[in-house]
């Protein structure tokens, strides 16, 4: 029997209008009943598949059936075998979360699936891959993950215009958020012109909080080591760990302003769903205190937060905290201004982090393919 602690945390966030999606999935969590229990009893609202989680999960016996089935197709390449496995995972998870999808009227209950990182700088390839995976998985609560590159952003409105759900990942700046938000609106307008039901389309924008703070803090600490004036040292120290939440609050203000516009109100009248902000990577360094700081600072209505299974099971020990996303806005603006005055370009950092994120995804994908091939070869030797 699971502890009641996850209920404390997830239910608390839900009371403030924030959904919790599980970051990472492996098939055994469904088969052993842990994931169904989190969904049924503890208010889990969605989940994200990722390359690393699947690569680690392949060691379990729950994937043996897939490899046995593929023995009848010895000429199948490793990418096709990977897709066979991950599509089954996505379908099983989507089946489990369909009840959440229905109960929330398509607001939650999504299973997020990555496109191949190899197509992230090719608009046509991104479009083709998304269309193929969408049709192959065949579940309406699938959400396709694409990073916010110039190529993929040009495709976003086409995907939404065709009725597909999209999670735009690796967001780090308000400027890129504006581009993403406008592309989503154009996509909804396109779908509406084609007679589509806007209530059946959803999208989120994933802001990688922890990655931004890690990158900025590295630069700040370098400056701090070189600083000789007490006043400069104090300023640099005060900015450590504060930049990502400040950036998130600015983006959330833009999100709120957008949804007060006449353009959005017209789409909402047709059933359009807001493109929610998703807070990702809030536990990169496994620092519990840092994670709770993010949870409190980024708690706000109409947003999503991703947590690992370990973080969910830690619960909140009965603690209650207020929503911080709409608080200390002047301090947030001041923090960002001070960073720029130090000569640190947040836009340049965002561009670098996007490229790093795609490279990390590519590396994880390649490792996953190697593991799939190794497991297949081991079965052939048995």
* Residues designated catalytic: 145
Q: Are the beta carbons of 207 and 172 closer than 8 angstroms? A: yes
Task: Quote the CA–CA distance of 17 and 139 in Å, as a whole number.
Answer: 25
261: its two tokens: 């516009």
Task: Quote the CA–CA distance of 44 and 59 in Å, as a whole number.
Answer: 25
279: its two tokens: 């807070």
- pTM over 0.75? The answer is yes
Write the CA distances from 322 to 15, 299, 327, integer angstroms: 11, 8, 10
What's the average model confidence in pLDDT over 92-120? 95
What's the average model confidence in pLDDT over 129-145? 97
Q: Residue 137: what pLDDT? A: 97
CATH architecture of 5-381: Alpha-Beta Barrel (3.20)
Tens digit of each residue's pLDDT (9 = 90 or more) over 219-238: 999 999 998 899 999 999 99
What are the phi and psi torsion angles at 168 (to 5°)? -85, 115
Q: Residue 41: what pLDDT? A: 77
Residue 381, CA atoms < 13 Å, CB-side half-sphere: 6
Residue pointed to by tokens 């360094």: 285
DSSP states of 11-52: HHHHHTTEEEEEE---THHHHTTHHHHHHHHH---EEE--HH
Secondary structure in 3-state letters for 307-346: ECHHHHHHCCCCCCCCCCCCCCHHHHHHHHHHHHHCCCCH
277: its two tokens: 């902000």
Tens digit of each residue's pLDDT (9 = 90 or more) over 12-41: 899 999 999 999 888 888 988 889 988 987
Inform me whether the pLDDT recorded for 4 exceeds 80: no
301: which residues sit within 8 A by CB, 6+ positions away?
16, 17, 18, 323
What's the average model confidence in pLDDT over 68-83? 87
Nearest Cα to Cα of residue 275 among 375, 201, 379: 201
Inform me whether the pLDDT recorded for 381 exceeds 70: no
> Quick one: 222 exposed, middle or buried, by C-beta within 10 A (0-12, 13-18, 19+)?
exposed
Q: Are the beta carbons of 145 and 188 closer than 8 angstroms? A: no
Task: Quote the CA–CA distance of 177 and 206 in Å, as a whole number.
Answer: 10
Task: Quote the CA–CA distance of 347 and 225 in Å, as a whole number.
Answer: 24
pLDDT band at 319 (very low <50, low <70, confident <90, very high): low
Task: Quote the CA–CA distance of 34 and 91 in Å, as a whole number.
Answer: 17
19: β partners:
304
Residue 4 or 287, more confident: 287
Q: Residue 317: what pLDDT? A: 57
Write the CA distances from 258 to 11, 127, 347, integer angstroms: 28, 26, 21
Mean pLDDT of the chain: 92
DSSP states of 228-265: -SHHHHHHHHHHTTTHHHHHHHHHHHHHHHHTTSHHHH
Inform me whether the pLDDT recorded for 110 exceeds 80: yes
Q: Residue 288: what pLDDT? A: 82
Number of residues that make up the chain: 382
Inform me whether the pLDDT recorded for 1 exceeds 50: no
């Amino acid at each position: 029997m699971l502890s009641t602690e996850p209920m404390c945390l997830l239910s608390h966030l839900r009371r403030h209008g924030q959904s919790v999606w599980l970051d990472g999935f492996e098939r055994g969590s469904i088969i052993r009943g842990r994931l169904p229990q989190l969904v049924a009893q503890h208010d889990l609202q969605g989940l994200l598949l990722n390359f690393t989680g699947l690569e680690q999960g392949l060691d379990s016996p729950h994937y043996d059936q897939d490899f046995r089935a593929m023995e009848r197709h010895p000429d199948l390449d490793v990418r096709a075998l990977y897709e066979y496995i991950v599509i089954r995972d996505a379908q099983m998870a989507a089946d489990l979360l369909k009840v959440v999808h229905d109960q929330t009227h398509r607001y939650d209950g999504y299973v997020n699936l990555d496109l191949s990182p190899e197509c992230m700088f090719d608009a046509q390839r991104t479009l083709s891959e998304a269309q193929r995976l969408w049709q192959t998985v065949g579940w309406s609560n699938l959400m396709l993950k694409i990073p916010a590159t110039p190529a993929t952003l040009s495709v976003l409105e086409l995907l939404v215009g065709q009725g597909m759900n999209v999670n735009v990942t690796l967001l780090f700046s308000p400027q890129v958020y504006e581009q993403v938000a406008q592309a989503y609106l154009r996509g909804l307008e396109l779908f509406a012109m084609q007679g589509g039901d806007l209530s059946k389309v959803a999208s989120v924008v994933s802001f990688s909080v922890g990655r931004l703070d890690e990158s900025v803090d590295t630069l700040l600490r370098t400056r701090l080591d070189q600083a000789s004036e007490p006043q400069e040292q104090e300023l640099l120290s005060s900015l450590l760990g504060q930049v990502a939440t400040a950036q998130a609050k600015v983006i959330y203000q833009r999100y709120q302003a957008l949804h007060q516009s006449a353009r959005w109100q017209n789409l909402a009248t047709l059933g359009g769903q807001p493109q929610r902000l998703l807070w990702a990577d809030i536990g990169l360094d496994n620092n519990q205190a840092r994670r709770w700081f993010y949870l409190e600072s980024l708690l706000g209505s109409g947003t999503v937060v991703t947590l690992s299974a370990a973080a969910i099971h830690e619960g909140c020990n009965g603690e209650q905290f207020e929503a911080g996303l709409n608080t200390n806005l002047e301090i947030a603006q001041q923090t960002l201004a001070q960073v720029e005055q130090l000569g640190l370009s947040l836009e340049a950092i965002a561009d670098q982090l996007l490229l790093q994120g795609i490279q990390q995804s590519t590396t994880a994908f390649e490792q996953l393919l190697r593991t799939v091939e190794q497991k297949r070869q081991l079965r052939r030797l048995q």
